[in-house]
């Protein structure tokens, strides 16, 4: 039975889904059809009422255009509602279009019916006071829920309730506000249902409009800015379409300013929702249909250029008109046009640079990007913050959503890489650039594209490669600094463990032996006169204990000394090379004076590690070991005739160990290709270290 029920449900589920989708599509078409059905009579009544006296800013032909814009506003809503029925944006656009058409219908019918004393004229005029609510607050909630149908966060529930509350308040205020109706068309007609208690709304109509209409709109628009800051890249691309629509709205207003025509202003205002709804539909259904960044940058460029040209032309006309008052009237516009034409190309170049920096960052100004990166790195004191600052600088300079820096964590051919710095919201990596320092790959720079469809341009790639070189230098320094810190931590830990071992050996080995010898000598001293034979036996036992203690001390001291301490640097090197199963050619000074202990230790172990690398990796037939003393340094070269370095070397444990040992005492160690084939390790170590002579003198003083 359960199996049969499960099969029945599986068969009916797709059918139910199709029915729901069909009902949603029909509802969307019904709403759009209602909008057309309301807009059509609105246009007819606008034509029929063309003889009615009206203000200059609202001619009858403009009232014919306005219902058409309501239909155009609802078309993107129809597309979104049928394609993405679960997204409330499409339904809100349909409601906004229907509300806008209803407002135009009430206005047009009132203008036609009232002069002719037709039925419902006063009622239609009264409806114009509050019929705008459906349009205005649908747009407010559209901003709050765009693009995914959810609020930006839980904290935005209270602002959303405030917007809804304002919409609920506006409806009764508009319906019952006393005074004349019809926005100046019929001053003698007052609201038949006006409430005297709401007279203050007429006196302070501007403040009431700002509080109940403008503030909710601004609050809803602010939600888009908040969402842009905390959204992933796809949502940001969708929000950029809204930004483009806002820019087009500003451009339309600028057209009105240029034409100085009230009718043109009204057309610009009624076209703004149409542009906005079209942009929202594209953002929800096909946000990657076009390169919005390129569209946005070009729109910014031409909007700014248009504004500058209009402002410059108006300013020049005013200036030349003031200076050339007595000249012919045609000279002033001609001069202004000439100056604007001359300044147009330089102005476009400057604006193009500014817009490119705004949208694409410093891609077209690599010097500024590298200089900014250098300043940020110089200002960073903590080595651990150098690479995070570099990642942040690259992301901000190029307007990249995500930048990550990886460094080689392990060593060897299968080296793993660990992310050490990241900036931005994680996104798919579009480009990987190797961080190479002195011919060695030490990490990777990973960057995400600005959008899913965008590819990096040649200018982007050039700048990123230059930035990668600078980051590689910084990463090498960071690696060295962190290696020194780890080395110091390791040295502290080793010293602590060595002290613990020495304390344990002395306490468990030498301590009991000497204690036993002490007690035996005390017993012998008490029996010296009374029992000479027993005293002799006790002294012999004490002597055995003392010899055993001396042997333990010698064993412990030998364990603390390296071959260099026991034999000296030259003899220790020769002793080691004699044990190596490889043809070794040594070139050593006849006598190497005693150097600082740390220098001799570093030189010996660097040589041991270099020769071990030759045995493991080089497949060489010969190896040359050369030590040379200069006035201030010990120069050491270990060369081989093997197959040489790979094209892109990844340093192993041994290479890192050699470099760390050299860096710890202020020296250097370089691994490079040999001129005649093979590899050579060149180490330069200082002969003297600060404090080494003082420590030696102190040691001699204590021994004395």
- 515-551 pLDDT, tens digit per residue, is 777 777 777 777 777 777 777 777 777 777 777 777 7
Is 323 buried (19+), middle (13-18) or exposed (0-12) by CB count in 10 A?
Answer: exposed
pLDDT on residue 412: 41
Following DSSP, what letter does each residue of 419-457 receive, concatenated? Answer: EEEEEES---EEEEEEEEETTEEEEEEEEE-SSSS----
Tell me which long-range contacts 348-355 makes (C-beta under 8 A, separation of at least 24). 348/301, 348/305, 351/301, 351/304, 351/305, 351/308, 352/301, 354/304, 355/297, 355/300, 355/301, 355/304
Mean pLDDT of the chain: 75
> pLDDT per residue over 474-506, tens digit each?
777 777 776 777 767 676 666 666 677 666 666
Which pair of tokens denotes residue 134?
């459906």
Size (the chain), residues: 704
DSSP letters spanning 630-672 = -SSEEEEEEEE-SS---SSB---HHHHHHHHHHHHTT-EEEEE
Q: What's the confidence (pLDDT) of residue 439?
A: 72
Q: How many CA atoms lie within 13 A of 244 on its CB side?
A: 26
Run of H or E including 603:
helix 597-613
Q: Is pLDDT at 414 greater than 50 in this prediction? A: no
| Percent of the chain residues topping a pLDDT of 70 | 68
Contact at 8 Å (CB) between 277 and 93?
Answer: yes
Q: Residue 482 phi/psi, 5° resolution?
A: -65, -35
Please compute the mean of the pLDDT values over residues 345-351 and round it to a whole number.
55
Residue 104 predicted with pLDDT over 80? yes
Instruction: Return the pLDDT at 111.
Output: 87
Mean pLDDT of 368-394: 66
pLDDT at 375 > cutoff 60: yes
**Average pLDDT score over residue span 654-658:** 78
User: Count of H helices and E strands in the chain?
Assistant: 23, 11
- What spatial distance separates the first Cα and last Cα of the chain, rounded to whole Å? 102
Q: Are 111 and 185 in contact (CB under 8 A)?
A: yes
Q: Tell me how far CA of residue 427 lies from CA of 99, 156, 273, in angstroms.
A: 41, 26, 33
Q: Is pLDDT above 90 for 369?
A: no
Tens-digit pLDDT profile for residues 144-170:
888 888 888 888 889 899 999 998 998
Distance (Å, whole) CA 655 – CA 653: 6
Output phi, psi for 645, to 5 deg: -85, 150
Task: Work out the number of other CB atoms within 10 angstroms of the CB of residue 394.
Answer: 27
Write the pLDDT tens digit of every residue in 16-71: 777 888 888 888 899 989 999 999 999 999 888 888 777 666 777 878 888 888 88
| Cis peptide leading into residue 631 (ω within 30°) | no
> H or E stretch including 38?
helix 2-48
3-state secondary structure of 683: strand
3-state SS class at 187: strand
Instruction: Let me know: does 378 contact 384? Beta carbons within 8 Å.
Output: no
Q: Whole-angstrom Cα distance, residue 218 to residue 215?
A: 5
Strands 633-640, 668-673: parallel, antiparallel or unpaired by DSSP?
Answer: unpaired
Contact yes or no for 24/80 (Cβ under 8 A): no
Structure tokens given for 143: 């901003």
Q: Which phi-psi region, left, alpha or beta, contains residue 388 (left: φ > 0; alpha: ψ -120 to 50)?
A: alpha
The answer on pLDDT for 637 being more than 90 is: yes
State CA 55 to chain mean position distance.
Answer: 54
Is the Cβ–Cβ distance between 97 and 139 less than 8 Å?
no
Output the pLDDT for position 1: 45
Q: What is the pLDDT of residues 261-320, one digit of tens each?
A: 556 566 767 778 888 888 888 777 765 545 555 555 555 555 555 566 556 655 655 665
Residue 355 has pLDDT above 90, yes or no: no
pTM for this predicted structure: 0.51
Distances from the Cα of 300 to the Cα of 244, 354, 360, 628, 654, angstroms = 9, 10, 13, 67, 56
> 635: pLDDT confidence band, cut at 50, 70 and 90?
very high
Please answer whether residues 651 and 411 qualify as being in contact, where contact means their C-beta atoms are separated by less than 8 angstroms. Answer: yes
Report residue 600 as tokens. Answer: 């001799």
The tens digit of pLDDT for each residue in 199-211 reads 888 888 888 888 8
């Amino acid at each position: 039975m359960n199996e049969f029920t499960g099969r029945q449900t599986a068969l009916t589920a797709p059918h139910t889904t199709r029915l729901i989708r069909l009902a949603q599509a029909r509802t969307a078409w019904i709403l759009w059809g209602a909008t057309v059905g309301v807009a059509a009579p609105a246009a007819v009544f606008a034509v029929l009422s063309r003889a009615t006296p009206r203000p200059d800013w609202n001619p009858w032909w403009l009232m014919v255009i306005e219902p058409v814009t309501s239909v155009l506003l609802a078309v993107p809503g129809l597309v979104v509602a049928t394609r993405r029925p679960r997204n409330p944006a499409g339904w809100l656009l349909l409601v906004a279009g229907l509300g806008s058409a209803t407002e135009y219908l009430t206005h047009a019918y009132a203008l036609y019916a009232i002069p002719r004393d037709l039925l419902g004229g006063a009622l239609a005029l009264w409806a114009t006071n509050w019929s705008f609510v459906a349009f205005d607050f649908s747009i407010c909630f559209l901003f709050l829920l765009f693009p995914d149908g959810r609020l930006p966060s839980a904290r935005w529930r209270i602002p959303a309730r405030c917007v809804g509350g304002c919409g609920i308040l506006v409806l009764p205020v508009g319906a019952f506000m006393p005074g004349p109706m019809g926005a100046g068309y019929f001053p003698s007609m007052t609201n038949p249902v006006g409430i005297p208690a709401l007279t203050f709304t007429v006196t302070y109509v501007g403040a009431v409009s700002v509080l109940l209409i403008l503030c909710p709109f601004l609050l809803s628009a602010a939600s888009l800015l908040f969402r842009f800051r905390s959204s992933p890249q796809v949502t940001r691309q969708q929000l950029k379409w809204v930004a483009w629509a806002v820019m087009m709205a500003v451009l339309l207003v600028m057209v009105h300013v240029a034409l100085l025509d009230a009718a043109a202003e009204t057309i610009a205002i009624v076209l703004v929702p149409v542009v906005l709804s079209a942009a929202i539909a594209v953002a929800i259904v096909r946000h990657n249909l076009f390169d919005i960044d390129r569209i946005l940058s070009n729109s910014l460029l031409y909007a700014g250029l248009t504004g500058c040209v209009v402002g410059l032309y108006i300013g020049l006309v005013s200036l030349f008109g003031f200076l050339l008052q007595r000249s012919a009237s045609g000279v002033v516009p001609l001069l202004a046009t000439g100056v604007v034409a001359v300044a147009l190309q330089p102005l476009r170049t400057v604006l193009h640079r500014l817009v490119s920096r705004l949208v694409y960052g410093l891609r077209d100004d690599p010097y500024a990007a590298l200089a900014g990166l250098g300043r940020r790195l110089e200002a960073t004191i903590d080595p651990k913050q150098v690479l995070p600052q570099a990642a942040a600088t690259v992301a901000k300079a190029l307007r990249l959503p995500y930048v990550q820096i990886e460094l080689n964590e392990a060593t060897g051919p299968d080296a793993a890489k660990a992310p050490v710095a990241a900036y931005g919201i994680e996104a798919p990596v579009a480009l990987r650039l190797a961080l190479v320092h002195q011919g060695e790959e030490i990490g990777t720079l990973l960057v995400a594209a600005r959008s899913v469809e965008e590819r990096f341009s040649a200018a982007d790639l050039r700048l990123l490669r230059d930035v990668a070189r600078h980051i590689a230098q910084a990463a090498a320094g960071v690696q060295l600094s962190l290696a020194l810190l780890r080395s110091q931590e390791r040295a502290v830990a080793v010293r602590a463990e060595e002290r613990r071992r020495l304390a344990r050996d002395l306490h468990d080995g030498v301590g009991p032996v000497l204690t036993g010898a002490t007690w035996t000598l005390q017993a012998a001293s008490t029996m010296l006169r009374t029992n000479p034979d027993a005293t002799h036996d006790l002294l012999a036992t004490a002597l055995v204990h003392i010899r055993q203690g001396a042997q333990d001390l010698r064993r412990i001291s030998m364990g603390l000394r390296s071959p260099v301490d026991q034999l000296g640097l030259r003899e220790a090197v020769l002793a080691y090379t004699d044990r190596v199963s490889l043809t070794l050619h040594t070139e050593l000074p006849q006598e190497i004076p005693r150097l600082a202990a740390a220098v001799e230790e570093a030189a010996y172990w660097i040589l041991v590690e270099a020769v071990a690398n030759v045995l493991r990796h080089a497949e060489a037939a010969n190896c040359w070991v050369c030590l040379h003393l200069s006035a201030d340094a010990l120069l050491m070269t270990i060369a081989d005739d093997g197959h040489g370095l790979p094209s892109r070397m990844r340093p192993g444990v041994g290479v890192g160990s050699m470099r760390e040992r050299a860096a710890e005492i202020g020296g250097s160690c370089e691994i490079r290709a040999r001129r005649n084939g093979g590899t050579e390790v060149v180490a330069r170590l200082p002969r003297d270290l600060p404090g080494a002579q003082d420590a030696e003198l102190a040691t001699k003083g204590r021994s004395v």
